[in-house]
Structure 1
Amino acid sequence: MAATASKKAQKNKKKDANGKFLHGVKVELKKVIWPTKKELINYTVMVIVATIVVMAIIAVSDGVFAQLFRLLRIVVG
């Protein structure tokens, strides 16, 4: 009998903890300053452009190193 009461008490504690957590999440989300549509579009474009630039830098350096290693393999044998 005591075991079932203990299990129910633990279950209620978990529900209370989950409820408090979700309430805390809701309170914190109200504090967030959400970007406007224009800001969101600008940030998205900046991320895409930055990604393309980094991709190009990596592609160029990969090509240069591939040529250097190919040349090194020819020279060394």
Structure 2
Amino acid sequence: MAVVKEKGARENAAGRTFREVRSEMKKVVWPTREETFRLTIVVIMVSIVIGAILFSADVLFTNLMALLRGLVS
């Protein structure tokens, strides 16, 4: 009999969890289409800038290492 109560308690807990999730999702303020587009552009631009910075640093350090290797040998 205890097994049946535990199973029912688990089902009730799962059902309660899904009801709470649904309730919370209704409270979410979703961004408008324009906001989503604008923020996507910002993310793409920042990614490009950071990529360019990392590329420049990589080229700089590669050239410095080549210069140091040339001086050592």
- Do they superpose with TM above 0.5? yes
2:33 to 5, 18, 37: 37
Distance (Å, rounded) in 2 between the aligned partners of 1:42 and 1:66: 36
* Root-mean-square deviation (Å): 1.1
| Structure 2 residue runs without a partner (length 5+) | none
The CA deviation at 1:7 is: 2.4
TM value normalised by structure 1:
0.86
TM value normalised by structure 2:
0.90
Correspondence for 1:76: 72
1:12 paired to 2:12: no
2:20 to 20, 24, 41: 24
Q: Give every structure 1 segment of 4 or more consecutive aligned residues whose post-TM-superposition deviation is greater than 4 Å.
A: none
Distance (Å, rounded) in 1 between the aligned partners of 2:5 and 2:19: 21
The CA deviation at 1:40 is: 0.5
Correspondence for 2:51: 55
Deviation per residue, 1:12-53 (Å, 9 max, x gap)? 222111111111111111111110000010011111111111
Distance (Å, rounded) in 2 between the aligned partners of 1:74 and 1:24: 66
SS of match in other structure, 2:64: helix
The CA deviation at 1:56 is: 0.7
